Amino acid sequence: MDYGVWEPARLGQNQLPDGRLLGWAEWGPVDGTPVLLCPGAATSRWLAFGCDVVDAAGVRLVSVDRPGLGASDPDPDRTLTSWVSDIRHLFQERSLRAPLAVGFSQGAPFALALAANSLVNAVAVVSGSDELAHPRFAHSLNPHVRGMVDAVAADPGAAEASFADFGSAERLWDLIITTSPEVDRTVYTDPVFRTAFRRAMDEAFRQGPAGYARDTVLATGRWPFDPAGIAVPVDLWYGRRDTSPTHSPDLGESLAQMIPTATRHLLPTAGGSLLWTHAEAVLRTLLAHVR
């Protein structure tokens, strides 16, 4: 089955003001509506979605490697706030006007940070990680995830070192497969999809595990913005069969209540892989906010 994971149409890097390079990949028409993809944990610009529909939808899909992953230079002390600064510069350099954003899994807080700082005109969060350190989840986290949250709160540096010790493409692939329901394993183990997914993971770790570890600290700690202050449309997409312990514990229900502009889409037969099984719906709903 074609899950829309095609080779990039364009690849490149842009230099940031401090000299670092930020790597990106693009699909779709260069004059299309820019949609920035914030990829999930331990993946890279190589794993896209909806490549079979971007041309017809008029979407210029841009996926960016976060610092320290893939083709983007490290920024060891980066924050969600510095990420916003990096992307602001990229938008200017690449002439990405009136952009939208999609945040998948661990990419969700990175996409929402852009929305909170008015860099994008609408956001789709798909199977997104929530603010796991927020008090509303004090008693509902998976015990292992609770341990990660507590470790980051107690000593971020030590937690980051621990995440780096664990982080590798092989270990995380095994974790994804063993914690996913059948509806997701069907997607992830499809021969074409598996090849694209594993390539994206190998690329993510080509500089080592430090980029992944820093991402995990940022996603597991408190967010430096208030979701209630987001003023652009936000679509929260979750599959009821999603079993990932690091996605939203309540499948976006409380986050939808916090964000005044949010609409929650809960799909009864979908899992965490809905970015690829429902790509057209995600993109067309996102585009409808600005067209």
Distance CA 189, CA 216 (A): 24
Q: Which of 291, 288, 286 is nearest to 50 (CA)?
A: 286
Which tokens in the block code for residue 286?
Answer: 């996102």
Which tokens in the block code for residue 285?
Answer: 């709903």
Q: Which residues pair with 264 in a beta bridge?
A: 236
- Residues contacting 202, CB < 8 A, separation 6+: 169
Q: Please give the single-letter amino acid code of residue 107.
A: G
Q: Which of 51, 45, 181 is nearest to 107 (CA)?
A: 45
Specify whether the CB–CB gap between 262 and 248 falls below 8 A: no
Which tokens in the block code for residue 266?
Answer: 């809960």
Distance CA 4, CA 190 (A): 12
Among positive and negative, which fits the CA dihedral 72, 75, 79, 81? negative
Q: How confident is the model at residue 1, as a pLDDT?
A: 76
Q: How confident is the model at residue 81, as a pLDDT?
A: 97
pTM: 0.97
- Residue with the two structure tokens 């000593």: 155
Q: Domains, the chain, ranges and CATH?
A: 10-288 (3.40.50.1820)
Q: Please give the single-letter amino acid code of residue 119.
A: L
Distance CA 114, CA 101 (A): 8
Residues of the chain with pLDDT under 70: 291
Specify whether the CB–CB gap between 140 and 249 falls below 8 A: yes
